[in-house]
C-alpha cells in the first residue's frame, strides 16, 4: 500500500462539524478518521483554474483539503463558461483566482484558500511550490508543464498531471522519487504551432470535468495513502468513443532532470526551450490590423484575403470576400496566388495564419504576405460587431 505524502506531519482532530461534513469519507475503511485528518492537514497547489483546475478545486475543497493554493493570471471570459464550471456568468471579467476562491469558500468554509494572481515562471515557481505537498497541473501549454515538472522534481513533490484536447484526455502522476517524470514521457516539446490550443482546436465541455476529477482522485490517494497511483502509468481517455487505455511508463535513466546523472539542476528558460522566443534569423511576419484591412477594402485596393480555417469553423462565422484554403493545403495550392497583389491571411486568433504564411515562404512564394492581427475575432470586435466572437 502506498504511503501518504504527509505521513510525518502532526495531525489535528476533526471537530464535530467536520465529522458530520465528511461522514461519507469516514465510513470508508480506506479513508477513515486518519485519512480525513491527513486531508485536513494537507496543502495542495493547483496550477490553472480553467477546465481542469475547476473540477480539481471544487472536489478537493469538498473532500476537505486543508489548504488550497491556486495560481492563475487570467480573467474569466464568456467562452470559458462552457467547461470551467467553477466560474459563473456574473464572474465574467473578474480574475479567475478571485472567482475560484469565492466558489471554493461557498463549498467549504473550512478550506484555507491562497491565491497567486500571477503567471508561474522560473523566477517564482520554486518559492510558490515549496510550501505544498502535492501539485496538480491544470495548465494548457507546454512551457508551464515543463516548468511545473522540473520544479516538482527539484523539490521532491508529486505532480498530478492532466491534459485535454477536443475529445481526448490524459492523466498521470509524475513523482521522481517513485517513478518517471514528465520529461521521461516527453523529452522534447513538439514544434511550436503543431498542437493547437483548445482556443483554436476546441474541446467538448465535459472532458475537463472527467479528467480533472481523475486528477482530484489521484491527489486524494497521495494524501490519504493507499490505492494504486497512476505513477508509472499514463491513462488515455477518448470521450467520443468512450474508451480508456493505459500505457506503462518507465523512468528514463538518461532523463536530464530525474535520471542517474541529471544535467538540469535549476529552472531554465522554458519559452526558449519550447521554441517560443523569436529567432533572430527567422524572417518576421508582417501584420495588418482589422481597421487597416477595412480601410484598404473601403478604398477598393486589390487584395487577396485567404481564410485558413477548416469548413466546420468557417460555418461559425464567414469572412467577406475571403478565399478558403485550409492550412494543410496551402503549399500545394501556391499557383492560386497572385504575387503582384498583397495577400492577407486570416484564422480565428491570428496564429494558424502565421504558419500558412511560413509554409508559402518555404514553398518559394515571393509576393507580399500579411497576417490579420488577432484574426477574425479582431474583425468582429473592431469592424463588424454584428459578427460573433468565438
The 10s digit of each residue's pLDDT in 220-273 is: 999 999 999 999 999 999 999 999 999 999 999 999 999 999 999 999 999 999
Rounded-to-integer distance, Cα 98 and Cα 54, Å: 13
Question: Average pLDDT over the chain, rounded to whole?
Answer: 94
Residue 385, all three cell numbers = 460587431
State the alpha helices, DSSP H only, in the chain: 16-21, 23-26, 32-41, 53-63, 96-107, 125-129, 142-155, 182-185, 198-201, 207-224, 270-273, 290-298, 311-314, 352-362, 375-382
Region 58-85: what's the mean pLDDT? 97
Rounded-to-integer distance, Cα 259 and Cα 49, Å: 31
Crossing angle of helices 32-41/207-224, nearest 10°?
110
Q: Which of 301, 297, 290, 256 is nearest to 372 (CA)?
A: 290
Q: Percentage of the chain with pLDDT > 70? A: 98
pLDDT confidence bin for 196, thresholds 50/70/90: confident
What is the model's pLDDT at position 336?
94
Q: Residue 1 pLDDT more than 80?
A: no
State residue 321 phi and psi, 5-degree precision. 65, 15
184 is catalytic: no
CB–CB of 163/157 below 8 Å? no
Q: What is the signed CA dihedral for 116, 117, 123, 128, rounded to 10 degrees?
A: 10
Q: Residue 48 pLDDT more than 90?
A: yes
pTM: 0.86
Q: Which of 111, 184, 198, 274 is catalytic?
A: 198
The SS3 assignment for 280 reads coil
The three-state DSSP-derived secondary structure of 162-195 is: EEEEECEEEEEEECCCCCCCHHHHCCCCCCCCCC
Q: Read off the pLDDT of residues 353-386 as tens digits, 9 standing for 90 and up.
A: 999 999 999 999 999 999 999 999 999 999 999 9
Q: Read off the pLDDT of residues 119-171 as tens digits, 9 standing for 90 and up.
A: 999 999 999 999 999 999 999 999 999 999 999 999 999 999 999 999 999 99
pLDDT confidence bin for 278, thresholds 50/70/90: low
Q: Residue 71 pLDDT more than 80?
A: yes
State residue 243 phi and psi, 5-degree precision. -135, 140
pLDDT confidence bin for 276, thresholds 50/70/90: confident
- The gap from C-alpha 286 to its chain's centroid, in whole angstroms, comes to 28
What is the model's pLDDT at position 177?
94
State residue 237 phi and psi, 5-degree precision. -130, 130
What is the model's pLDDT at position 279?
56
Rounded-to-integer distance, Cα 194 and Cα 387, Å: 28
Longest dimension (CA), the chain: 79
Long-range contacts of 250-253 (CB under 8 A, 24+ apart): 250/180, 250/184, 251/176, 251/179, 251/180, 251/181, 251/184, 252/180, 252/183, 252/184, 252/187
What is the model's pLDDT at position 281?
60
274 is catalytic: no
Q: Read off the pLDDT of residues 98-129 as tens digits, 9 standing for 90 and up.
A: 999 999 999 999 999 999 999 999 999 999 99
Q: Which of 275, 182, 271, 290 is nearest to 230 (CA)?
A: 182
What is the H or E stretch that residue 161 is in? strand 159-165
What is the model's pLDDT at position 190?
87
Amino acid at each position: 500500500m502506498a504511503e501518504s505524502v504527509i505521513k510525518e506531519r502532526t495531525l489535528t482532530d476533526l471537530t464535530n462539524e467536520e465529522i458530520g461534513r465528511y461522514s461519507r469519507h469516514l465510513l470508508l475503511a480506506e479513508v477513515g478518521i486518519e485519512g480525513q485528518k491527513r486531508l485536513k492537514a494537507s496543502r495542495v497547489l493547483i496550477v490553472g483554474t480553467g477546465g481542469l483546475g475547476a473540477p480539481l478545486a471544487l472536489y478537493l475543497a469538498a473532500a476537505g483539503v486543508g489548504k488550497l493554493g491556486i495560481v492563475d493570471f487570467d480573467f474569466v471570459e464568456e467562452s470559458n463558461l462552457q467547461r470551467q464550471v467553477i466560474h459563473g456568468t456574473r464572474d465574467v471579467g473578474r480574475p479567475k483566482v478571485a472567482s475560484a476562491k469565492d466558489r471554493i469558500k461557498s463549498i467549504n468554509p473550512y478550506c484555507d484558500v491562497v491565491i497567486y494572481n500571477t503567471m508561474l515562471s522560473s523566477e517564482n515557481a520554486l518559492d510558490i511550490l515549496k510550501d505544498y505537498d502535492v501539485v496538480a497541473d491544470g495548465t494548457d501549454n507546454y512551457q508551464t508543464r515543463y516548468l511545473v515538472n522540473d520544479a516538482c522534481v527539484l523539490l521532491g513533490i508529486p505532480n498530478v498531471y492532466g491534459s485535454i484536447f477536443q475529445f481526448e484526455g490524459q492523466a498521470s502522476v509524475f513523482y521522481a522519487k517513485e517513478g518517471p517524470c514528465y520529461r521521461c514521457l516527453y523529452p522534447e516539446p513538439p514544434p511550436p504551432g503543431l498542437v493547437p490550443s483548445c482556443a483554436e482546436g476546441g474541446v467538448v465541455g465535459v472532458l475537463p470535468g472527467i479528467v480533472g476529477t481523475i486528477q482530484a482522485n489521484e491527489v486524494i490517494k497521495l494524501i490519504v495513502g493507499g490505492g494504486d497511483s497512476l505513477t508509472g502509468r499514463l491513462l488515455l481517455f477518448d470521450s467520443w468513443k468512450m474508451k480508456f487505455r493505459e500505457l506503462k511508463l518507465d523512468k528514463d535513466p538518461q532523463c536530464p532532470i530525474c535520471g542517474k546523472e541529471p544535467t538540469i539542476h535549476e529552472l531554465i528558460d522554458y519559452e526558449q526551450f519550447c521554441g517560443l522566443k523569436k529567432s533572430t534569423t527567422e524572417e518576421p511576419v508582417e501584420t495588418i490590423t482589422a481597421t487597416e484591412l477595412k480601410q484598404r477594402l473601403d478604398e477598393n485596393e486589390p487584395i487577396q484575403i485567404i481564410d485558413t480555417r477548416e469548413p466546420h469553423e468557417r460555418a461559425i462565422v464567414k469572412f467577406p470576400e475571403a478565399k478558403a484554403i485550409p492550412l494543410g493545403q496551402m503549399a500545394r495550392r501556391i499557383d492560386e496566388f497572385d504575387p503582384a497583389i498583397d495577400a492577407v491571411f486570416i484564422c480565428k486568433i491570428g496564429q494558424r495564419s502565421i504558419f500558412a504564411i511560413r509554409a508559402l515562404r518555404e514553398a518559394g512564394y515571393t509576393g507580399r504576405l500579411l497576417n490579420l492581427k488577432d484574426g477574425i475575432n479582431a474583425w468582429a470586435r473592431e469592424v463588424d460587431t454584428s459578427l460573433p466572437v468565438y
